[in-house]
């Protein structure tokens, strides 16, 4: 049972000036409303809101936030209403509890549309008061600490949701104490074998690392004492999830990760930081390319510190972090470290820090496609940032992967609309060039510019630029937009090897238009033209109608296909486009997306229920692990060279050390091989490792192998493989 006196004593030890009377009233109300309720563990439910309140107190949050933490489940799980909260504790607390209550039913991981809409609601609540998210993070942290009482499916869902949404949000706010614990707990349950193996390996090395750290700190202390400055030195162990991702995605062993433990030096002033840096570099040789000055150029979440990696006497690298006490508080607690409700901090500061959130909501409010909305969130909120300069030396912050086009629209909408070219570091550059940290960007404009085209939506990477481009396209001549959208849909249908007449005939398109809340197909075409609706979404919906019709036509063939599959194998094949299938006339065949087979791959067919034959690579996990009862559904298939459609999508993963011009080099290499990039996604780890997912249009296995060889030759690329 929770002891009130112990709880209040813990809060007072954290903040002696806290309004303990207000907290006690909230505790008593929570105890009253949750009386008789139990958690899945069998413990009194009151334990959860009390632990959430403790986490909020540790973060240094104000009394009203702690009160909201105590009451955050009362409205959802008891008869206590928002009106009751406002009457008893004021409007401010009621707004916080109301915001968190709305988030309590968040269901991420279901249908994409529902996920996107729920996230919109969450960010709207956050934009009004960021304390809503801080309470939600505290709530999620305690729930993860006790998640072992849930079933396996619930645990997996909550842990994936944590890694995809809440840990990145904690990072965006700079609350690393919560981010690291969320990630480590999620890893423990999602991949327990790897987690406990890693724990064992780290434990084995603990004594050895401790001895090295002790010697390093002794050497630093001796040198810093001569500076006659106040300082504190400590060791910082890298959290398990960070080690795990490095080992998994960079294919490294534990011995190859040299920043498992870092030495952290905390001083009083910025001047002292640079004095300590000079001393450290006189003691040990710094490693080129491993120095980062986040004091001169802070991260978007206001994180500041100097990071440098040096070589010790044994030639072993280790990391040193240098920061002031003020920087350290922000590094640990992020936005909570200087909350506007704390004494002496102006509200204007925090309004600036929340600008990114409000801008994201504004830019994406008219976005119809949920997948595009989710991608925009990942890019603007969760991806790393790049900092470039105007010719006058002003710093401009953009999402990593941004182009001069994003820069142009960030400066001013009119600059973006009139953009006809760009200079990067005083040299002409295409508007789709990937920008890197520290580059100087100048936009070339013309009053005679014809303005944005729909292709610009593929070039722009930031939500701001894409939103402004869509807005401009939307305002253009309606009939011109309608025809452009229709042509675009037909061309994309042909690229998929589909006959547009099959798609645009009948009432299919009208049904899809109505499902997307358009009054007519003309309105749908117009929306396609300015990027309001993705062509891929319309084609996917049309494909479902097409497949359903073919399925009805081919349903009588299921028995025939199964019969053929169960008979002794014959070498009589009937052609159907790209492949020939054994002894079946007019088969409905599709290439499986799980393994994306290419001409030249060894393939096999699998009779689906009502959807013809799916063709897989023979080593596809879905085929290798097919149930014994379903092995009778396997059919022999062969590639039909005469019927080959010429191009197939294949997915590739590239792991590289991020550098200036990396993606440009990859693009040029693909262009040299006459290979079209149909999809790309790039993420960068904090340590500078780039993970690139490419979808390429490939003619067959022979060209695929050539692509693999060529991409592996690119500078800084460490690994390339086909998914």
DSSP code, position 394:
-
pLDDT (0 to 100) of residue 697: 80
Burial tier of 218 (Cβ tally within 10 Å: 0-12, 13-18, 19+): exposed
- Per CATH, 194-336 and 355-474 having the same topology is answered no
Range 4-190: architecture per CATH: Orthogonal Bundle (1.10)
pLDDT (0 to 100) of residue 532: 62
What are the catalytic residues?
Answer: 76-77
pLDDT (0 to 100) of residue 574: 47
Mean pLDDT of 65-77: 90
Give dist(CA 411, CA 459) in Å, integer.
17
Mean pLDDT of 608-634: 79
Query: Does an H or E element contain 221, and which?
Result: helix 192-225
Give dist(CA 441, CA 391) in Å, integer.
7
Strands 441-445 and 292-293, sheet pairing? unpaired
Tokens of 29: 């109300």
DSSP code, position 707:
H
Superfamily of domain 355-474: Beta-grasp domain (3.10.20.30)
> How far, CA to CA in Å, does 357 sit from each of 95, 137, 397, 537?
18, 16, 14, 27
Give dist(CA 411, CA 415) in Å, integer.
7
Q: If pLDDT is split at 50, 70 and 90, which confidence band does 379 have?
A: low
- pTM summary value: 0.55
Query: Is-contact 259 252, C-beta < 8 A?
Result: no
Residue 330 has a CB neighbour count (10 Å cut-off) of 24
Report whether pLDDT(113) > 70. no
pLDDT (0 to 100) of residue 26: 93
Q: Is the dihedral of CA 169, 172, 175, 178 positive or negative?
A: positive
DSSP code, position 432:
T
pLDDT (0 to 100) of residue 650: 81
pLDDT (0 to 100) of residue 48: 93
Superfamily of domain 194-336: Beta Polymerase, domain 2 (3.30.460.10)
DSSP code, position 649:
E
Give dist(CA 25, CA 31) in Å, integer.
10
Kindly list the strands in the beta sheet with 427-429, ordered across the sheet, starting from the edge strand earlier in the chain: 427-429, 419-424, 441-445
Write down the mean pLDDT value for the chain: 77
Report whether pLDDT(540) > 60. yes
Q: pLDDT by residue (tens digit) across 148-207?
A: 988 888 898 889 888 877 888 887 777 888 998 999 999 999 989 888 888 887 776 766
Residue 420 has a CB neighbour count (10 Å cut-off) of 12
- DSSP assignment of 55-124, as one string? HHHHTT--HHHHHHHHHTTHHHHSS--HHHHHHHH-HHHHHHHHHHHHHHT--TTS-HHHHHHHHHHHHH
- DSSP assignment of 479-518, as one string? HHHHHHHHHHHHHHHHHTT--HHHHHSTTHHHHHHHHTT-
Give dist(CA 669, CA 648) in Å, integer.
18
Domain range annotation of the chain: 4-190, 194-336, 355-474, 478-552, 555-643, 648-722
pLDDT (0 to 100) of residue 357: 59
Give dist(CA 408, CA 442) in Å, integer.
8
Q: pLDDT by residue (tens digit) across 383-411?
A: 566 778 888 877 787 877 889 999 999 89
Q: If pLDDT is split at 50, 70 and 90, which confidence band does 32 have?
A: very high
Residue scoring higher pLDDT (102 or 60):
60
Domain 648-722: CATH class, spelled out = alpha beta
Residue 614: partners with Cβ closer than 8 Å, 6 or more residues away: 589, 590, 591, 592, 605, 606, 608
Query: Is-contact 528 488, C-beta < 8 A?
Result: yes
């Amino acid at each position: 049972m929770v002891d009130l006196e112990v709880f209040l004593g813990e809060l007072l030890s954290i903040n002696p000036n806290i309004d303990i009377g207000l907290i006690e009233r909230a505790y008593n109300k929570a105890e009253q409303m949750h009386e008789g309720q139990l958690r899945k563990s069998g413990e009194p439910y009151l334990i959860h809101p009390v632990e959430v309140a403790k986490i909020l107190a540790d973060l240094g949050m104000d009394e009203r936030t702690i009160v909201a933490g105590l009451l955050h489940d009362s409205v959802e799980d008891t008869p206590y209403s928002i009106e009751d909260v406002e009457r008893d504790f004021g409007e401010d607390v009621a707004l916080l509890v109301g915001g968190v209550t709305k988030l309590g039913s968040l269901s991420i991981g279901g249908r994409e549309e529902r996920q996107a809409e729920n996230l919109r609601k969450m960010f709207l609540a956050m934009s009004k008061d960021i304390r809503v998210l801080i309470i939600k993070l505290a709530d999620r942290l305690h729930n993860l600490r006790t998640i072992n009482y849930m079933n396996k499916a619930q645990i997996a869902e909550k842990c994936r949701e944590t890694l995809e949404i809440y840990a990145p949000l904690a990072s965006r706010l700079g609350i690393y104490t919560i981010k690291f614990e969320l990630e480590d707990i999620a890893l423990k349950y999602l991949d327990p074998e790897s987690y406990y193996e890693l724990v064992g390996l780290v434990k084995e090395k603990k004594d050895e690392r401790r001895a090295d750290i002790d010697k390093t700190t002794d050497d630093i202390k001796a040198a810093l004492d001569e500076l006659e400055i106040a300082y504190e030195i400590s060791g910082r162990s890298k959290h398990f999830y960070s080690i795990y991702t490095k080992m998994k995605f960079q294919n490294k062993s534990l011995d190859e990760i040299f920043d498992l433990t870092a030495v952290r030096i905390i001083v009083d002033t910025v001047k002292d930081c640079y004095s300590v840096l000079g001393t450290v570099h006189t003691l040990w040789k710094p490693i080129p390319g491993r120095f980062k000055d986040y004091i001169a150029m802070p991260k978007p979440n206001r994180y500041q510190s100097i990071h440098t990696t040096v070589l010790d006497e044994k030639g072993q690298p280790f990391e040193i972090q240098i920061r002031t006490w003020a920087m350290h508080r922000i590094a640990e607690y992020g936005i909570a470290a200087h909350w506007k409700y704390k004494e002496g901090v102006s509200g204007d500061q925090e309004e600036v820090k929340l600008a990114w959130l409000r801008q994201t909501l504004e830019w994406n409010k008219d976005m119809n496609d949920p997948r595009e909305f989710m991608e925009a969130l990942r890019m603007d909120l969760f991806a790393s940032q790049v900092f470039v300069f105007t010719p006058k030396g002003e710093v401009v912050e953009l999402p990593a992967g941004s182009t001069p086009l994003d820069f142009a629209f960030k400066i001013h909408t009119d600059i973006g609309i009139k953009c006809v070219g760009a200079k990067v570091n005083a040299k002409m550059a295409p508007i789709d060039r990937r920008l890197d940290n520290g580059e100087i960007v100048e936009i070339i404009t013309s009053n005679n510019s014809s303005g944005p085209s729909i292709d610009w939506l593929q070039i722009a990477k930031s939500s701001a630029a894409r939103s402004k481009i869509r807005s401009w396209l939307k305002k253009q001549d309606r009939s011109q937009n309608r025809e452009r959208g229709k042509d675009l849909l037909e061309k994309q249908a042909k690229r998929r090897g589909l006959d547009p007449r099959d798609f645009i005939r009948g009432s299919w398109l009208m049904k899809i238009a109505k499902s997307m809340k358009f009054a007519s197909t003309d309105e749908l075409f117009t929306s396609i033209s300015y990027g309001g609706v993705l062509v891929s979404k319309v084609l996917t919906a049309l494909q479902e109608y097409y497949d359903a019709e073919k399925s009805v036509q081919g349903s009588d063939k299921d028995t025939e296909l199964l019969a053929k599959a169960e008979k002794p194998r014959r070498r009589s094949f009937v052609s159907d486009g790209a492949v020939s299938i054994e002894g079946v006339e007019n088969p409905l065949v599709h290439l499986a997306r799980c393994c994306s087979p290419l001409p030249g791959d060894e393939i096999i067919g699998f009779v689906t229920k009502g959807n013809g034959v799916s063709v897989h690579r023979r080593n596809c996990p879905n085929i290798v692990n097919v149930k014994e009862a379903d092995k009778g559904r396997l059919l022999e298939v062969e590639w039909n060279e005469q019927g080959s459609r010429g191009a197939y999508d294949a997915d590739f993963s590239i792991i590289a050390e991020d550098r200036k011009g990396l993606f440009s080099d990859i693009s040029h290499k693909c262009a040299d091989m006459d290979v079209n990039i149909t999809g790309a996604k790039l993420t960068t780890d904090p340590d500078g490792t780039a993970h690139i997912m490419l979808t390429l249009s490939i003619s067959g296995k022979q060209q695929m192998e050539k692509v693999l060889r060529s991409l592996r030759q690119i500078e800084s690329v460490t690994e390339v493989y086909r998914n």
